[in-house]
Structure 1
Amino acid sequence: MPRSDTTHARPPWLFKEYSPVGVDLGSPAAVAVYDRNQGTDPDADDALLDRLGVAQDTLLIDLACGTGSLVVQAARRGAHAHGVDISEQMLAFAQARAERADVTAYWHRAGFLDYAHAARPADVVTTRSALHQLPDFWKQQALLNAAATLRPGGTFYLRDAIVSFPPAEAAEQVQRWIDTAGRPAGEGFTKADFEMHVREEFSTYAWIVEGMLDRAGLDTVSRTLPSATHAEFLCRRR
């Protein structure tokens, strides 16, 4: 499958996106565990692609594509499907998934901040469970870059650990999230994984993300808050 690498293009002051905080995904075994823990579900991927109107010849870019399930499902329906990730191991796993499905997808080793889209403007750009890897200053830059890859009227979809509880309730709400979301080792992400996420990663408030989307030229069509710790935004590029 086609692959590209833009790691040479980063200026020295850019955030160290290629040395991410959080779960270590530097080996094939770690990536396989991550894929298991995240609960990859082709039916859920297809339901999302239906919502986003992804069909034959749609150009879709999945930023921080991880193990590539959404990209592969998009390719199955004839989309021009591009997966972008900083991790060589993630991309290798994703490419193997595409090969098993006998579909053509395009894989790019790049980050939110330095991905340079060389094809025609995208119809749909997605990112799930990854933007929290960046501090807020860099989230804004990432959203600007994502919007620049879209055609006018194109769709941007974001789902992540984005909180909507009142700031004064942070301690109570975070502890409840960790206690209820953590799973036993081998059955999903553990309490220790969620503790690490809160301590070392950069989840932020929904109202901050709303402002960032607007400043990136993305109009929010719908906002869904499935819980106090997660949010989903469906946007259109102005």
Structure 2
Amino acid sequence: MPRSDPAPHRPAWYFPEYTPVGIDLGSTSAVAAYDRNQGTDPDADDALLDRLEVAEGSHLVDLACGTGSLAVQAARRGAVAHGVDVSEEMLASAQARSERFGVAPHWHHAGFLDYSHSGPLVDVVTTKSALHQLPDFWKQQALLKAAGMLRPGGTFYLWDVIFAFGPTSAEEHLQQWIDTEGRPEGEGFTRADFEAHVRDEFSTYSWIIEGMLQRAGFDIVSSTSPRPTHAEFRCRRR
């Protein structure tokens, strides 16, 4: 499985992207639990790929690809798919998934900040449930990197824990999210998982993300917040 070398020559002040925040995914069992808790669904992946007009011959990069479901589904429809992740355990799971389906996406051991795409500019870049692992300064750098690998007019898709509520009601909404979404161990992400997300990870407000996307060179085509704690952005590279 081809992989790039993880950040071999970064300065000492660079964000330690290979040191996980939040949920520890350093074991096979943890990766399997994460995949189960995320609710990986090939049909949902296909529906998203349809919306993003990914077809045979399209070039797609999925940043922080996790266990590779989206990249595998893209490859199954004939796209040239690349999956990028900092977790070797995730990539091993992604490789196993691709072998089960008889496809061969390109897997890269790399992160938002150090992935260097070779080859032609791509049609679509996606990232789901992962950008929150970077502080806001580094989110902006990651979005600039994503824009740099997209052809003009190409699509950038973002789904994440992004806060649509106002700052004055943050405590109320966050507590409600934790109280409502936490599940017993083995049945999904637990209350402690959500508490750790709020405490240790770097989710931010939708209005901050909007500004970052625009400054990275994207026009926002559509944005939705199906609930106060999550948002989706579909953007076009200028």
Q: TM-score range by the shorter chain?
A: over 0.9
**1:117-171 Cα shifts (integer Å, max 9, x gaps):** 0121110000000000000000000000010010000000000000011110011
**Equivalent residue for 1:237?**
237
The DSSP-based 3-state class of the residue aligned with 2:50 is helix
Structure 1: runs of 5+ lacking an equivalent? none
**TM-score normalised per structure 1:** 0.98
**1:35-86 Cα shifts (integer Å, max 9, x gaps):** 1110000000000000000000100000000010000000000000000000
5 Å-filtered alignment, 1:115-130, equals 115-130=115-130
**Equivalent residue for 2:108?**
108
Aligned mates of 2:56, 2:123 — CA distance in 1: 12
The DSSP-based 3-state class of the residue aligned with 1:3 is coil
Aligned mates of 2:2, 2:136 — CA distance in 1: 32
The DSSP-based 3-state class of the residue aligned with 1:196 is helix
8 A contact 1:9–1:114 mirrored in 2: no
**Equivalent residue for 1:149?**
149
**Equivalent residue for 2:162?**
162
8 A contact 1:64–1:128 mirrored in 2: yes
Aligned mates of 2:110, 2:14 — CA distance in 1: 13
The DSSP-based 3-state class of the residue aligned with 2:4 is strand
**Equivalent residue for 1:135?**
135
5 Å-filtered alignment, 1:15-26, equals 15-26=15-26
Aligned mates of 2:64, 2:156 — CA distance in 1: 14
5 Å-filtered alignment, 1:1-238, equals 1-238=1-238
Aligned mates of 1:87, 1:199 — CA distance in 2: 22
How far is the alpha carbon of 1:228 from its aligned partner? 0.4
Aligned mates of 1:177, 1:228 — CA distance in 2: 9
**1:191-210 Cα shifts (integer Å, max 9, x gaps):** 11000000000000000000
**1:1-39 Cα shifts (integer Å, max 9, x gaps):** 443334324333210110021101001111011111100
User: Which AA in structure 1 matches 2:4?
Assistant: S
User: Which AA in structure 2 matches 1:156?
Assistant: F
Cα separation, partners in 2 of 1:9 and 1:124, compared to 1, 3 Å: farther
**TM-score normalised per structure 2:** 0.98
Please tell me the root mean square deviation across aligned C-alpha atoms, in Å.
Answer: 0.9
The DSSP-based 3-state class of the residue aligned with 1:4 is coil
User: Which AA in structure 1 matches 2:221?
Assistant: V
Aligned mates of 1:77, 1:126 — CA distance in 2: 16
User: Which AA in structure 2 matches 1:136?
Assistant: D
- Equivalenced residue count is 238
How far is the alpha carbon of 1:184 from its aligned partner? 1.1
Aligned mates of 1:75, 1:180 — CA distance in 2: 36
